[in-house]
């Protein structure tokens, strides 16, 4: 059975060299399975390039990377939460305003400014559903800690759990 190593492109690949003659490394850089090689590559990339600790590669169809809980929450809020689109938009703007008030930064945050612009935009061609979607996209661009606060506040206001259905084992 052939062993696997990490090729020059950083990808696990079967080693075809004769034992002891691999130009890509010795025994410490060779693995019994492609998955072992991938785990080693992930660890090295994390150490060398500062990748976010805890990100795991998703193996298998339908799994979501651990870092993608916010994309999951975004999709959940856009597609699964039923109700009047204008009420959803109002709730999101209210969540943003509430956090601004809690932090003593009313009218001073970029997301708050964007929320007020998107919320007050008066154009029948851009539906409340689209404005809600655009604003959720903006929230999802925030740093993780801020994103979490906004999503949690919106969940509380809407009475939902947008983490529902997320595969925590990733």
So what's the pLDDT on residue 49? 57
Q: What's the pTM value of the predicted model, to 2 decimals?
A: 0.55
So what's the pLDDT on residue 1? 56
So what's the pLDDT on residue 76? 79
So what's the pLDDT on residue 46? 66
pLDDT, tens digit, 9 for 90 and up, residues 89-115: 888 888 889 988 998 988 788 888 888
CB 6 within 8 A of CB 12: yes
So what's the pLDDT on residue 17? 87
Dist. CA 60–CA 151, nearest whole Å? 27
pLDDT, tens digit, 9 for 90 and up, residues 31-82: 888 888 888 887 776 666 554 344 343 333 333 443 477 777 788 787 877 7
**Which stretches of 30-152 are assigned E, i.e. beta strand?**
none
State both tokens at 30. 């060779």
> What residue ranges do the domains of the chain occupy?
4-49, 66-158
Local structure of residue 6 (DSSP, 8 states): E
CB 111 within 8 A of CB 117: no
**Cα–Cα distances in angstroms (integers) from residue 15 to residues 28, 29, 35, 37, 40, in the given order:** 13, 10, 14, 11, 15
| pLDDT value at 83 more than 60 | yes
Q: Percent of the chain at pLDDT above 70?
A: 79
So what's the pLDDT on residue 55? 39
């Amino acid at each position: 059975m052939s062993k696997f190593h990490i090729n020059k492109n950083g990808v696990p690949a079967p080693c075809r060299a004769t034992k002891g003659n691999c130009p890509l490394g010795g025994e410490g850089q060779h693995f019994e399975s492609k998955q072992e090689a991938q785990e080693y590559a992930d660890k090295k990339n994390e150490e060398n390039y500062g990748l976010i600790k805890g990100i795991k590669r998703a193996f298998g169809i339908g799994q979501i990377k651990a870092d993608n809980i916010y994309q999951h929450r975004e999709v959940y809020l856009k597609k699964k939460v039923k109700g009047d689109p204008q009420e959803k938009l109002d709730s999101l703007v209210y969540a943003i305003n509430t956090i601004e008030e809690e932090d003593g930064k009313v009218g001073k945050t970029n997301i708050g400014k964007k929320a007020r612009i998107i919320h007050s935009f008066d154009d029948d061609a851009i539906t409340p559903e689209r404005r809600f979607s655009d604003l959720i996209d903006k929230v999802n661009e925030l740093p993780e800690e801020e994103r979490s606060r906004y999503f949690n506040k919106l969940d509380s206001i809407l009475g939902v759990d947008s983490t529902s259905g997320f595969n925590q084992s990733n």
